[in-house]
Amino acid sequence: MSEDRHTGTNDLERRYRRLLRAYPGDYRRERGDEIVGTYLEVAGPDRRRPSPADAADLVRGGLRQRLRAVGAPDLAPGVRLAALLAFLTATPLAAAWMVLEQHTPPAAGPLTAAWLAQGQHTPPAVWNAPYVGPFLSLGVGVWLVWLLAVLPLALGSVRWTRRLTGAAVLATVAVLPLAALTGLPRPPLFVLLPQVALGLVALALPERLPTAARLLPLVAVGAAAVAAPNLLPRAEDFYVSYYGWTASQILPWAAAALLVTVLLIGVGLAVRGDLRAGWAGVVLATPLGLMSLHVFAGAVDGVLHGAPRPGWSALAGTAVAVTVLGPALLPATIALRRRVTARLATPTAGRCPTCGTAR
Amino acid sequence: MWPSSAVRPHGPTRYLRVRYIAAVDTPLREPTFLILTALAREPLHGYAIIGEVAALSDGRLTLRPGTLYGALDRLTDAGLVAVDREETVDGRLRRYYRLSPTGETTLAAETERLRRNVEAATARLGARSRAVRPTAPRTAGGLA
């Protein structure tokens, strides 16, 4: 039956057909009647509109079908793996930033003692900078929401973890206008950007996770909270302001750890013929790039201007480039995969049908 | 892993083609196992499969149509399920699905695997309950 023949049918059917647009056109024409018919049988006579769960099911099914149509059915498992790794990266980072938010008198190092003896002590910039109560910036509220997201996961509720992760992403974004409106300090953009990118990927956390995977973020957060005080600035670190130097060191190392983890998991799974870690790597490209801003921008600024550390314009330019190119990597990889799959499905394409040699 | 009776691929091209165009991993996930089980007796249409799966799982698992048809597509691609026939009832299209010979072999292998697991677990639990059965308390001094 064509879609036009259904224009006079009841509201419920029309609404299901509207949701069916999530599916590719060819599939919809071939299977649409069957799927909608089954929905109507399941729905019963009293239902007037699709439930939110029905809508989610159809959208998920449509997305899955579109991925299948382009020869990337294993993208969804890859995205779920990427989500877990993103969450596992974002939450310990939040724990580290939370510790660095403390506005406490810096510990005196050996240099301070020498300076004090000479009457030359200069307090570090971090201690003199503006602050928010006992904390350095409004970031403390943001990181608190991130840390709260770890608890429901450890207790087994992925749904609440996703909700709190969404709230944490919103809080991470909202701190920008909030700081502008109140005039209070906030964490630097190069700290907030990768956190938002990691959070957006983490929203795809799978419904079912093994116990070890659910507890791992809690363990990682604990480890980061224990290790982070070592990164607090000392009295002689007078060049430090907010997260400045420390954060620009932590983020690239965290990116390297995440990349190595993806590679190790990728090798392990590839041995079993499972390439989902490849998709996870593609999905994580943007967060990885944003976490490595200082490395990339430093390379650009170093080559172009011989600057020892990247300037603001180099950081901003690199961030824009990563934000544009990173997400574009996924459709590009899907297109490439479609070509490879099409070629594998028709092994004779591009070859002489008689002798089999490439044309 | 490959569907038990599927032809194992030879060479990287065939490997990739079978692995990424049509494959269902084993051990089967519970919904997949129950869909194949639902089709074991006779060909069924989508709505009937949903009902059978709910009955087989004592109402614990209610498949939604979008999920069901996604699973049926994968199983059809992997050669475990095939379209049996189409009917139109009350103006609605009903497509019936049946278990293919490959699907039957896969389901049988999976059932055997689960049966062995159940037997092993039952034996271990039996041994455990015998080992921890409380012994009768010894009375010291007796009343006699």
Buried b (16+ CB within 10 A) or exposed e, B44-78: bbbbbbbbbbbeeeeeeeebbbbbbbbbbbbbbeb
Q: A36 and A179 in one domain? A: no
What is the phi/psi pair of residue A132, to 5°? Answer: -120, 95
Find which of A291-300, B5-14, B45-54, B125-134 is predicted with most confidence, using mean pLDDT: B45-54
pLDDT tens for each residue of A12-38: 889 999 999 999 988 999 889 899 989
Which has more pLDDT, A98 or B24? A98
Residue A274 pLDDT greater than 90, yes or no: no
A36 lies in the same domain as A97? no
Q: Are residues A4 and A129 in the same domain?
A: no
Cβ of residue A273 closer than 8 Å to a chain B Cβ: yes
pLDDT in tens, A146-173: 999 999 999 988 989 999 999 999 999 9
Is residue A218 domain-shared with residue A172, that is, in the same domain? Answer: yes
Q: Tell me what pLDDT residue B2 has.
A: 37
Mean pLDDT (whole number) for A328-348: 76
Which of these ranges, A119-128, A193-202, A225-234, B46-55, has the smallest mean pLDDT? A119-128
pLDDT higher than 80, residue A213: yes
Token digits of residue B27: 């051990």
pLDDT of amino acid A303: 66
Q: In this structure, what DSSP letter does residue B29 have?
A: P
Q: Which of A244, A247, A277, A276 is closest to A263 using CA atoms?
A: A277
Q: Which domain holds residue B19?
A: 12-128
A41 close to B (CB below 8 A): yes
Task: Give Cβ neighbours of residue A273 (< 8 Å, ≥ 6 apart).
Answer: B15, B19
Q: Are residues A147 and A31 both part of a single domain? A: no
Structurally, chain A folds into a number of domains equal to 2
A311-331 pLDDT tens trace: 788 888 889 999 999 999 988
Report the gap between the CA of B57 and the closest CA in chain A (Å).
17
In the predicted model, what is the mean pLDDT of residues A191-219? 91
Q: What are phi and psi of B99, to 5 degrees?
A: -75, 130
Q: Provide the phi-psi class of A195: left if phi over 0, else alpha when psi is between -120 and 50, else beta.
A: alpha
Residues A92 and A154 in one domain: yes
Statement to judge: residues A89 and A166 lie in one domain: yes
- In the DSSP assignment, the letter for residue A349 is T
Task: Tell me the average pLDDT of chain A.
Answer: 81
Which is higher by pLDDT, A255 or A207? A255
Residue scoring higher pLDDT (A178 or A335)? A178
Q: What is the reported pLDDT for A19?
A: 93
**Are A309 and A104 a contacting pair, CB within 8 Å?**
no
pLDDT at A244: 59
* Mean pLDDT over the full length of chain B: 79
Judge whether B80 lies within some domain.
yes
Q: Assess whether pLDDT exceeds 60 at residue A356.
A: no
What is the count of structural domains for chain B?
A: 1
Give A79-113 pLDDT, tens digit per residue: 999 999 999 999 999 999 988 887 665 555 555 55
- The stretch A250-260 carries a mean pLDDT of 93
Residue corresponding to tokens 């699973």: B71
- The string of pLDDT tens digits covering residues B102-112 is 999 999 999 99
Crossing angle for the helix pair A189-202 and A75-100, to the nearest 10 degrees: 140
Among A42, A60, A64, select the one facing B50 at the smallest CB separation.
A42
Residue A149 domain-assigned (yes or no): yes
Chain A interface, mutation test: which of B13, B49, B61, B64, most A Cβ atoms within 10 Å? B64
So what's the pLDDT on residue A2? 45
pLDDT above 50 for A256: yes
* One domain for residues A116 and A231: yes
pLDDT at A207: 80
Any chain A CB within 8 A of the CB of B8?
A: no
- Residue B122, classified by CB atoms within 10 Å of its CB into exposed (0-12), middle (13-18) or buried (19+), is exposed
pLDDT at A107: 55
pLDDT score at A245 = 65
Would residue B26 count as lying in a domain? yes
A29 touching B, CB under 8 A?
no
Contact A191, A290 (CB under 8 A): no
Tell me the shortest Cα–Cα distance from B108 to chain A, in angstroms: 24
Chain A window 216-255: which residues touch B at a Cβ cutoff of 8 Å?
A: none
Residue B83: CATH number of its domain:
1.10.10.10
* Residue B4 included in any domain: no
Task: Give the range of the structural domain holding residue A95, as residue numbers without chain letter.
Answer: 76-239
Report CB contact under 8 Å: B69, A61: yes
pLDDT digits (tens, 9 = 90+) for A171-200: 999 999 998 898 888 888 889 999 999 999
The span from the CA of A349 to the CA of A356, in Å, is 10
Q: Is residue B61 part of a domain?
A: yes
Cβ of residue A73 closer than 8 Å to a chain B Cβ: yes
Mean pLDDT is highest, among A156-165, A223-232, A273-282, for A156-165
Is residue B97 situated within a structural domain? Answer: yes
Cα separation, B10 vs B16, in Å, equals 10
Whether the CB of A10 is below 8 Å from some CB of chain B: the reply is no
Q: Does pLDDT of A282 surpass 90?
A: yes
Domain limit, last residue, from A217, A239, A261: A239
**Which of A1, A35, A341 is the closest to B69 by Cβ?**
A35
Beta-carbon contacts of A167 under 8 Å, excluding residues fewer than 6 positions away, are A145, A149
**For A60, which residue in chain B has the nearest alpha carbon?**
B66
Total beta-carbon pairs less than 8 A apart between chain A and chain B: 70
Tell me the angle at which helices A189-202 and A139-148 cross, rounded to the nearest 10 degrees. 20
Q: Is the pLDDT of residue A78 over 80?
A: yes
